Amino acid sequence: MEAEVLTRQAGFFLSSLTTISLAVLSIEFILDYKLSFFPFSFIIVLYLAGLYLRNRFWRKAWKKDRKTLFRYSYVIIWIIGIALLLIFLYFGNSQITVFPLGHYALNPYLLLIALLWTVYSVFEIYMVNSISSLAKYKNANYLAIAAIVLVDLSFLLMNHFVYILPISLFLLSLSTFVSSIRVAKIY
């Protein structure tokens, strides 16, 4: 039984670890203005593994409850998650010169990523709320909404305060971790 619960939570744990890795990488980038793509290879593997396990979780939820919304969730989350990765890789590949992080504020590719990520996150928050009681986690939604808003603001305000990105990513990581705790008690 414990292995099943850990498997159910693994996608959220890996996503939280991926987000912390991105936050640390962004802090290193702010301090050095150098960007090594070596850590990205690990982050991409973590991201894909977390996405796959979350997809598997929502598919299992659909097979258990047969709610149409759950069926859409595992398809939509997979499509949006892969689209986010592809846009980010295209954006990263198109950068010949690396600028300070503040230079990337209001970048159209990053704004598109923020928009897709917001849709993805709001959809998944709704899905977690539909299967998990908020009785023990009354502030979980506020934490998740604050993380979503702060990440979106970071792409707009990075040129004024570069540390908003790592702060928002740490908050997002905490929010994802709380979601992993919430889904442990279901099914």
**Cβ atoms of residues 149 and 171 within 8 Å:** no
Read off the pLDDT of each residue in 117-133 and give the average, rounded to a whole number: 80
pLDDT tens, position by position, 85-118? 898 888 877 877 777 777 888 888 888 888 888 8
Cα dihedral angle (94, 98, 103, 106), rounded to 10 degrees? 20
Amino acid 135: pLDDT: 65
Q: What is the mean pLDDT of the chain?
A: 81
pLDDT tens, position by position, 46-65? 889 988 888 888 888 777 77
| % pLDDT > 70, the chain | 87
* Cβ neighbours, 10 Å, residue 81: 22
Amino acid 30: pLDDT: 82
pTM: 0.83
Q: Please report, as a single letter, which amino acid is at residue 120.
A: Y
Contacts of 47 by beta carbon, 8 Å cutoff, 6+ apart:
14, 15, 18, 81, 85
Higher pLDDT, 17 or 3: 17
pLDDT at 21 over 60: yes
At 167, is the pLDDT very low, low, confident or very high (cuts 50, 70, 90)? very high
pLDDT at 187 over 60: no
What is the token pair recorded at 144?
Answer: 């998740």
Lowest-pLDDT range of 111-115, 123-127, 145-149, 167-171: 123-127
